[in-house]
Structure 1
Amino acid sequence: MTITESFVELTTTRGPMRVHLFAPAGNKKYPAVIFFSEIFQVTGPIRRMAAALSGNGYLVAVPEVYHEFELAGTVLAYDQAGSDRGNELKYAKELASYDEDARVTAEYLKNHPQSTGKVGSYGVCLGGHLAIRAGFQPHVDAVAAFYATDVHTGSLGAGKSDDTLAKFGDARAAFFFVWGRQDPHVPLEGRKKIADRLNEANVDFEWHEFNGAHAFLRDEGPRYNPSLARVSMDLLLRFFSERLG
């Protein structure tokens, strides 16, 4: 499937937010997905992951998560300086701003002329946590979170204090989780804490663990696992097909 790439500037109370769009060419309608990036924003690997999903029949929107701090189009490098800046901003940004970004993007996608009106969220690392929180928005029906950070510690955003685990009690969306068992950011006790909370809250979810490192989907750097990436994509496409149509 041929896709197109473009971007729009959406309005938030904290300034404009650039959102990168990946869409199948033509005038047909497709389910829409918000794809939340790592702390490095819209890098080459993130763009390729977004394009791969779009090529399977989805309208994909990738927000720049640090739009109130960085110039539009800013990409942080996969090096120590980029990691330091990304982690600094992760804890500088207010939780309410993360949630507003998700709401604004979901509303935009629901009403997009190429959208069926069905909206999902998908994310990796920081973006996995943001995808989960997007699932608490009224327009988001399905959530796919890969190795989501800061969930078990409740430490996302300014003040390092979030209510994500508590919000699962009111969750309406279906959730899909993928974890790497060798991921130091989400150790066994952290994964167990999340799973226990999901079961306690009677959340509609599925759970997958692989022998993989953190960021094993990223096709750049030593942690990339192409075999797990292929398996994960198949699982993701099946989940979104069932939940978004």
Structure 2
Amino acid sequence: MAVTDDVTDLPTPTGPMRTYLYAPNEPGRPPVRRPGVVLYSEIFQQTAPVRRLAVQLASLGYRVAVPEVYHAHEPPGCVLGYDDAGKTRGNALKQVVTLNEFDADIATAVAFLKDHPDGTGAVGSFGICLGGHLAFRAALHPGVRAAACFYPTDLHTGTLGGGADSLTRAGDIRGELLMVFGRQDPHVPAAGRRIIYDALDAAGVWFTWHEFNAAHAFLRDEGDRYDPAAARHAIGLAADLFSRCL
């Protein structure tokens, strides 16, 4: 279905959080309440590939919110480049933003979708790279029913935001997780994936696990690491998750 887009600034303890909104558009049909999905970007914020991913999710029938994760340190609308300067800035900022700040922003985005007048109250999260970890953090929130975490960085090392307790809190997750990785991803190597799997298994989390013969960022429809076939399959897995849980 067609998609409309909008923008809003959500209030947070560290200032307004620019958030991009996407929703199904069906002219001539009576309004339909929609579940919500918070989409967390890579370290580069809402790039063109992230926007296209948001539109895809919205076209499946979800109200999608894409918050700027570095809103306290960059002006609204900031997009970091897929280059060395962008990588350096993005990787530095993910250590500057504290875990409490990340969690406060997550709570704000989840509450926005959960309480949206055109929503159903059901909320899921979807994230890639840094966003994969933030989608996992969102799953710790009792209002999140499902989380699709794509190659989440810093999850096995616990280094996000100066020291994340994400895996040690895995038992707090009440929804379902979809964990997706590329086997040729140096940022989440086999040993790191094993740490994540064992922690989820030990905590009794309800999750599915998928590894593709693909590189880091294989979902990004730009650049030489993009794998269209794997991306199509993986997005289908996320669509099935949200259809089942939301």
TM-score by length of 2: 0.97
Residue of structure 1 in register with 2:94 after alignment: 90
Instruction: State the 4+ residue runs in structure 1 displaced beyond 2 angstroms.
Output: none
**1:78, distance to aligned residue in structure 2 (A):** 0.4
**1:178, distance to aligned residue in structure 2 (A):** 0.3
Residue of structure 2 in register with 1:198 after alignment: 200
**1:17, distance to aligned residue in structure 2 (A):** 0.3
Of the three residues 220, 230, 233, the one matched with 1:231 is 233
**1:79, distance to aligned residue in structure 2 (A):** 0.4
The amino acid that maps onto 2:103 is: D
**1:128, distance to aligned residue in structure 2 (A):** 0.2
Q: Deviation string for 1:93-149 (max 9, x for gaps)?
A: 010011011100100101112211100000000000000000111211101000000
The amino acid that maps onto 1:191 is: R
**Is residue 80 of structure 1 aligned with residue 77 of structure 2?**
no
Of the three residues 179, 188, 192, the one matched with 2:181 is 179
Residue of structure 2 in register with 1:5 after alignment: 5
Residue of structure 2 in register with 1:63 after alignment: 67
* Aligned positions of 1:1-245 closer than 5 A: 1-26=1-26, 27-157=31-161, 159=162, 161-244=163-246
5+ residue gaps in structure 2?
none
- Counterpart Cα distance in 2 of 1:196 and 1:227: 28
Q: Deviation string for 1:212-241 (max 9, x for gaps)?
A: 000000011110000001111111111110
- Counterpart Cα distance in 1 of 2:44 and 2:192: 23
The amino acid that maps onto 1:200 is: A
- Counterpart Cα distance in 2 of 1:85 and 1:218: 19
Q: Which moved more, 1:142-151 or 1:232-241?
A: 232-241
**Percent identity at matched positions?**
53
Name the SS for the 2:241 alignment partner.
helix
